[in-house]
């Protein structure tokens, strides 16, 4: 059976159907003028991941007496950060992961923040530490991220964890590209020999994404604001990952027929809605698979944060991280 029928053209597939048909693989689609891409439903995939986290958290408690706990540190009053932190806390609660939040005032000094991190690093009841970015201007983000114990670094931003990702022996990896890999795995997309184009080279998304795809034997091109003829690069890609920070920047006509399109972007419109970086309607006419915004990569990021917290709790009792 072809995977496109299982994803049912733009409609949500119920979870039982999903689970039963998981082994169905991606196959190259024959494109025609009436083609519409299959939607990769991040909400559904994330929900399944969160249920697995819930089971693993329960197992850690019953078998090892470990109560997985994530500490989120918020400095200041950035409204978007407040929403992200609240969502993370809620997701933890639903997955049976203990969540502790430290709200620090804007004027907190770097030394005070480092002192709190040192205390959390030393606390055996704390498994994951996340410092919400951006930090106020007077605090050096790099110094703060490097102060977090690499074994509790659930964002995967510590140079040690970045280095392990480069070396191909990952321990804790950045949640957003990790979530993208999960989505590709879910649709059974074999990356071997595929031409992948990533638009964006941030430490949070673009660079770790490139490494993860490379380790799966894709041929990766990383594009950025100085790239020449971006549309031509995208036109040659079997897989496009857009992480630019610019609303509907990638045009439908750039997409190679049959390509898989992953839209990482979260851009707020003037009317308060969310849009991605790909022109969704036009790209859907050419892509074989595409992620929506909202409901695509976003929910996966939080689910992978929970998974990383479980991995950190396992590391604390001497288990190895899954490669
Ligand atoms: P970022 O740090 O601002 O990086 C943006 C990248 O896009 C940079 O590498 C930049 O190139 C490149 N770029 C900018 N304009 C370009 C152009 N005209 N042509 C080609 N490349 C261009 O952003 P980020 O943190 O990676 O985030 C990217 C997007 O993903 C944002 O919309 C963000 O909200 C979203 N995001 C979503 C999630 C999620 O959970 N779904 C998580 C994180 C981020 P230069 O390096 O040359 O400046």
**202-244 pLDDT tens trace:** 999 999 999 999 999 999 999 999 999 999 999 999 999 999 9
238-278 confidence digits (pLDDT tens): 999 999 999 999 999 999 999 999 999 999 998 989 999 99
> In angstroms, what is the span from residue 265 Cα to ligand 1's centroid?
8
Q: Quote the CA–CA distance of 40 and 296 in Å, as a whole number.
A: 7
| Residue 291 Cβ contacting ligand 1 at under 6 Å | no
In CATH, what number does 65-155 get? 3.40.50.10860
99-158 confidence digits (pLDDT tens): 999 999 999 999 999 999 999 999 999 999 999 999 999 999 999 999 999 999 999 999
- According to the 3-state scheme, what is the secondary structure of 3-25? HHHHHCCCCCCCHHHHHHCCCCC
Residue 178 has pLDDT above 80, yes or no: yes
To the query of whether residue 88 is one of the catalytic residues in this protein, the response is: yes
To the query of whether residue 226 is one of the catalytic residues in this protein, the response is: no
Contact indicator for 55, 305 with CB cutoff of 8 Å: no
In the CATH scheme, what architecture does the domain 3-40+187-298 have?
3-Layer(aba) Sandwich (3.40)
Q: Where in the chain is the domain with CATH 3.40.50.10860?
A: 65-155
Which one of 132, 171, 233, 256 is the catalytic residue?
132
Residue nearest to atom 5 of ligand 1 (CA): 244
Q: Ligand 1: which atom is nearest the Cα of residue 179? A: 40
Higher-pLDDT residue of 52 and 11 is 52
DSSP letter (8 states) at residue 28: P
Q: Where in the chain is the domain with CATH 3.40.50.720?
A: 3-40+187-298
> In angstroms, what is the span from residue 229 Cα to ligand 1's centroid?
18
39-51 confidence digits (pLDDT tens): 999 999 999 999 9
């Amino acid at each position: 059976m072809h995977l496109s029928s299982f994803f049912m053209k733009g409609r949500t597939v119920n979870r039982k159907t999903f689970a039963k048909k998981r082994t169905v693989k991606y196959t190259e689609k024959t494109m025609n003028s009436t083609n519409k891409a299959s939607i990769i439903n991040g909400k559904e995939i994330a929900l399944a991941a969160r249920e697995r986290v819930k089971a693993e958290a329960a197992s850690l408690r019953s078998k090892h007496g470990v109560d997985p706990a994530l500490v989120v540190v918020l400095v200041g009053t950035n409204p978007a950060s407040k929403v992200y932190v609240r969502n993370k806390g809620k997701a933890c609660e639903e997955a049976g992961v203990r969540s502790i939040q430290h709200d620090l005032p804007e004027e907190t000094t770097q030394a005070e923040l480092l002192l709190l991190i040192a205390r959390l690093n030393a606390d055996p009841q704390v498994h994951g530490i996340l410092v919400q970015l951006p930090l106020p201007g007077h605090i050096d983000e790099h110094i703060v991220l490097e102060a977090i114990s690499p074994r509790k670094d659930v964002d995967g931003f510590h140079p040690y964890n970045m280095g392990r990702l480069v070396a191909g022996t990952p321990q804790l990896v950045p949640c957003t590209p990790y979530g993208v890999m999960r989505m590709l795995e879910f649709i059974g997309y074999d990356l071997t020999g595929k031409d992948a184009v990533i638009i964006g080279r941030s430490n949070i998304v673009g660079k770790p994404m490139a490494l993860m795809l490379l380790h799966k034997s894709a041929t990766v091109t990383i594009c950025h604001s100085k790239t020449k003829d971006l549309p031509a690069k995208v036109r040659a890609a079997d897989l496009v990952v857009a992480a630019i920070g610019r609303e509907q920047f990638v045009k439908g006509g750039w997409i190679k027929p049959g390509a898989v399109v992953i839209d990482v972007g979260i851009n707020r419109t003037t009317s308060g809605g969310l849009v991605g970086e790909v022109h969704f309607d036009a790209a859907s006419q050419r892509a074989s698979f595409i992620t929506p915004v909202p409901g695509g990569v976003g929910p996966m990021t939080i689910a992978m944060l929970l998974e990383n917290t479980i991995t950190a709790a396992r590391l604390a009792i001497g288990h190895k991280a899954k490669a």
